[in-house]
Structure formats: C-alpha cells, structure tokens
Amino acid sequence: MPQRPELPIREIQDAIAERALDGWLLWDFRGQNPTAVAALDLGGHLLTRRWAYWVPRDGEPVLLVHRIEAGSMPTRVGAVATYAGYRELHERLRAILSGRRRVAMEYCPLGSIPYLSRVDAGTVELVRSFGVEVVSSADLVQHFLCRLSPGQIESHRRAALAIDRAKDEAFRFIAERIRAGRPALETEVQAEIMNFFARAGLVTDHPPIVAVDSHAGDPHYVPRVEVARACAANSLVLIDLWAKEDDAAAVFADVTWMGYAGDRVPDSIAHVFDVVVAGRDLGLETVRRRHSARESLEGWMVDRAVRDFIAERGYGEAFVHRTGHNIGAHADHGDGANLDDLETHDTRVLVPGLCFSIEPGVYLPEFGVRSEINVVLEGDGPKVYTPAQRAFVRILA
C-alpha cells in the first residue's frame, strides 16, 4: 500500500528561502484546518486545543501544543513547546515568531481560494499583532502535500479500475430491474454501488450520485427516498461515483458516466452530450499541449478554454461549476489547484504530481449531462487512468 511520507523539512526550508519567507506556520483548532492535520498525519487523533507546527527558514521546527495533549501528540521533527493558558499561548507564539517578517499560513487574501482559507481571521490578526506579515501557503501546500508519490499514483489507478467496474455493475443492475418489470429507484442503485464498494474494499466520503432525467440537471443532486425516481425505460441516467482503497495514503478516483435506457438517444440529449465530451477532451488537450511546450499552466486557464468552448455552442449559462477539482488522499476534493475561472480565479500552477478531474457539464431543466475523467500530470505529460466515455451507455442493449 502507498506510504504517507514524513514532511521533508530540509526541502521545505529550501522552498521557504526561495520564496523570501521566514517560515511556515501550520495552525489548527479542533480540525478546522484539515491541511495542517493532514500535513502532520494527525487524522483520528484527539485534538481539542489549539496547536501549531512552526517550520522556520533555518533551524529546528517547533511543535506548540497544550500541556494536556503534549503526551498524546505523535513525535515530529523538532522541539516541543507547551502552554496552558491563553496568555502563555500568546507568549510562546510571540517568542517563536520573534524577528520574523513574512510567514506563510493557510490563508488567502480576500478569501480568493476558499479551499485554503482555513485559519480563522482572529488568529491571523494575532500573528499580525506581532509585526508579522501573513502570506498564503498555497504554493507550499501544493508542492509538499498534494503531489502524488509513485505508490499513490498506482493506488489511484487501481481505484479507477475498481469504480469503473462498479459503474458497469450499476448499469447492469438498472437493466435487470427494467427487464424484470421493477425499475430500480435512484436510491436503490446508489445502495447497489455502495455494496460493491464494500465488497471491493473501497471507501468513500459520500455515497454516489444517481440522477434520472431532470434530476441530472441538478449538479449535486442527492438521492433521497422521498424524491427518488425510477430508472425506467427511456430514462436518462447520470452516475457520479468516487472511492479509494481503504488506506490513509491511497488516492481517490472520481468519474461521471451517462446512460440511456432506450433504443435511441433523443437528438437534443445526444447533441449536448457531444458538446460536453468535446469540451472535456479540449481540457485534456490544453494540458497536454502546454505541458509539451513547457509552458506554465495555471488552473484557471484550463477552465477558461473549456468554458469558452461550451459558451460558444450556446450552453455557457448552463455550465454552472468549475471544470475540475484537485484529487487527493485525505479527500476526493484535495488541496491542490482546481480548474476554475468561475467560482474562483485559481492561479496555482498545475505541476507534475498533481491529480485532478476534468468534468464539464450542461444542466437544463429537462436533463443534465456531465462527463468526467481524472488526469495525473506526470513528468512526461498527463496520464488518464479512468476510461473516457465516448458514447452513451445503452443500458438495455
């Protein structure tokens, strides 16, 4: 299984120096900063008080922790400083930051990247009160916490194969129930997929989306018994599923596929599907072309290329979410760069080692279409381990 490496302190310090920073302050209170929790591999530990891990440009890191939790915190590189009361906490933090001028934290100016705006405003004010400028740690987070190891890439590949089988089983289940005269509800198909995950040793942070007809026009539709529709004959069915191996360092795979339970996909639906798939492929080609040309590629650029393509075909207003999200180990939506020039203007660079989705969609009152692949940007270019859908799954064929 893939191993989660310890923080490479010396490399982090080199990166801090390159960015003209004095250090990186990882700060958390009761899991409010999952980036810090993941960085120190503290998931599952009892964390009830404020703690910090300071990595200076030079010298020894320091773990600042409440005295009642000092004994339960796993050993990390560096010294340990403890506190009990809030005055002592402030004194310890002031001493750690003494003489520092620019410090990175999980903060983004104006909340521009909300996925990494994880330190509360009061704590940022506290650090600033010591005469310290707080800057975003986004580049450090991406470089040291989001790039996948070879073992993690392999875990992603295995997860991609497994959820592809789960998708096939789901469409087969829908077909069997239609033929038996008992069309399955969206919730029943969802449960079938979750049963497959359990048998395959996969875990997920949320059950999959199974959406029929107009429900597919809601990008984050949640199947519920009281509103569930039947996957019946002549229905359009969207299935979005994501999972990973049951290992802390394993990486998610996340795909969306479209099926139709009829002899012929209506022209209006087929046309939208073709636009979405072409936009998806344009996104991948944009990554491939710029990587081959050794041109810097920021997350927003891919979204803009795909979004403009879909808008030019008349569906811009119906494409209501970003083109793609980072994919990680501790969450399906990871902390790295997103393909986004709609919800945010994500200027983070797509660097080798990142995994992300490309999943444009068009959402109309009558139906919705989304097509999703995952991309691992490796040293020799983008690799796709999730099969790419080229035509509707003909559920009854």
Return d(Cα 288, Cα 377) in angstroms, integer.
9
Task: Give the pLDDT means over successive 10-residue stretches in the chain (397 positions).
Answer: 70 97 97 94 90 97 96 88 97 97 97 94 98 97 96 98 98 98 98 98 97 97 96 98 96 98 97 98 98 96 98 98 95 94 97 97 98 97 97 96
Q: Do 170 and 141 fall into the same domain?
A: no
The values of phi and psi at residue 287, to 5°, are -65, -45
**pLDDT for position 72:** 87
**pLDDT for position 3:** 47
CB 139, CB 19: distance < 8 Å = yes
Q: What is the pTM of this model?
A: 0.94
Specify the CATH number for the domain of residue 67.
3.40.350.10
Domain that holds residue 133: 9-146
Say if 2 falls within a structural domain: no
The values of phi and psi at residue 314, to 5°, are 95, 10
Specify the CATH number for the domain of residue 194.
3.90.230.10
Q: Do 63 and 203 fall into the same domain?
A: no
Nearest CA to 367 out of 241, 225, 262, 226 is that of: 262
Q: Do 317 and 267 fall into the same domain?
A: yes
Q: Which amino acid is residue 106, in one-letter code? A: E
Q: Do 186 and 298 fall into the same domain?
A: yes
Q: Do 137 and 207 fall into the same domain?
A: no
Say if 1 falls within a structural domain: no
SS (H, E, C) 123-152: HHHHHHCCCCEEEECHHHHHHHHHCCCHHH
Query: 224: exposed, middle or buried (C-beta count within 10 Å: 0-12, 13-18, 19+)?
Result: exposed
CB 152, CB 329: distance < 8 Å = yes
Number of domains, the chain: 2
Domain limit, last residue, from 81, 114, 146: 146
**pLDDT for position 1:** 44
Return d(Cα 220, Cα 57) in angstroms, integer.
43
Task: Tell me the CA distances in angstroms from 123 to 56, 64, 139, one per residue in order.
Answer: 19, 14, 21
Return d(Cα 269, Cα 213) in angstroms, integer.
10
Q: Do 167 and 126 fall into the same domain?
A: no
Q: Do 115 and 156 fall into the same domain?
A: no
Q: Do 265 and 382 fall into the same domain?
A: yes
Domain limit, last residue, from 123, 146, 169: 146
